[in-house]
Amino acid sequence: MDILPQIAALRARLKSETAVVFVPTMGNLHAGHLALMRQARAHGNCVVASIFVNRLQFAPHEDFNTYPRTFEADCDKLRSVGVDALFAPDEKELYPEPQAFTVEPPALGNLLEGEFRPGFFRGVATVVLKLFNIVQPQTAVFGKKDYQQLMIVRHMVRQLALPITIIAGDTARAEDGLALSSRNGYLSPAERDEATRLYRTLGELGREIRSGCTDFAALEADAMKKLVNNQWKPDYVAVRKQADLQLPSANDHSLVVLAAAWLGKTRLIDNLEVAK
């Protein structure tokens, strides 16, 4: 695997490649990322990963400084799944001057995650567009764990006519159901046991919907209460339409339940698609 911290070196390496598949990450890689890398392989013959902890998508009070950085172990993992090239710039390389031009997402970026993390999707969209311009992939893979992020990236690609096909990767889960996330490493052993409640709660809510309940507000409130009763601080539990993350009506069939909640000092997100 070629490790390329410089834009110029990456461009030179990819110059004659015709089918580049790109998987952007912030590092601290787990089995979920590696599944995306393997999935990428099916869509091209040159798999490029990136590792860059993007300051632009963290609010000042968030965990930018403490976000786990495990570069050597990440490189070993990427090699083990046959990634061809890793773009690993430092901040000076990607942001040699303050990033004054930014990508402002549409209203979709202000819902759900955007409501609780103002500016988050501006930071994500800006770095993703910049990485796309640097790597110039034909295809890029994003995990469904960050459901709204995937949707915003797709929307950006469509509206800005980027010649890139976006592929969605399923959420990888631990055996007990917890969605794999770099932030799971913040959990104490007791919190790690409790953390499975988030996915279980989404599952229960999904079953209620499939069995015909259309009082989504009541289901959301009930799920929030279950979390609160077990020492969680939920930001939201929301039943939305898969197509646009807007509020569903009783006869919408392709739904997704999304949740974000704090367990101690750790903020976890998860989601579950529900087809009625």
CB 194 within 8 A of CB 230: yes
28: contact with ligand PAF by CB under 6 A: no
Three-state SS for 222? helix
Which residue among 10, 20, 21, 25 contacts ligand PAF (CB under 6 A)? 25
Name, in order, each residue with C-beta under 8 angstroms of 115's C-beta and a sequence gap of 6 or more: 235, 236
26: contact with ligand PAF by CB under 6 A: yes
Enumerate the H helices of 99-255 as residue ranges: 113-116, 120-135, 147-159, 189-194, 196-210, 216-229
Which residue among 20, 24, 43, 271 contacts ligand PAF (CB under 6 A)? 24
Which residue among 39, 54, 126, 136 contacts ligand PAF (CB under 6 A)? 54
Residue 124 vs 261, nearer CB to ligand PAF: 124
Shortest Cβ 276–ligand PAF spacing (Å) = 29
Among 33, 61, 155, 253, the active-site one is 33
Which two three-digit tokens encode residue 160? 């800005």
206: contact with ligand PAF by CB under 6 A: no
- Degrees to nearest 5, angle at CA 134 with 7 and 13: 55
Identify the bridge partners of residue 50 per DSSP, sorted by sequence position: 24, 87
33 is catalytic: yes
Cα–Cα distances in angstroms (integers) from residue 180 to residues 13, 227, 230, 270, in the given order: 32, 19, 21, 10
Site string for ligand PAF, 112-151 (x = CB under 6 A): ------------x--xx-----------------x--x--
Instruction: Using CB under 6 A, list all residues that contact ligand PAF.
Output: 24-26, 54, 57, 124, 127-128, 146, 149
Task: Write out the catalytic residue numbers.
Answer: 33
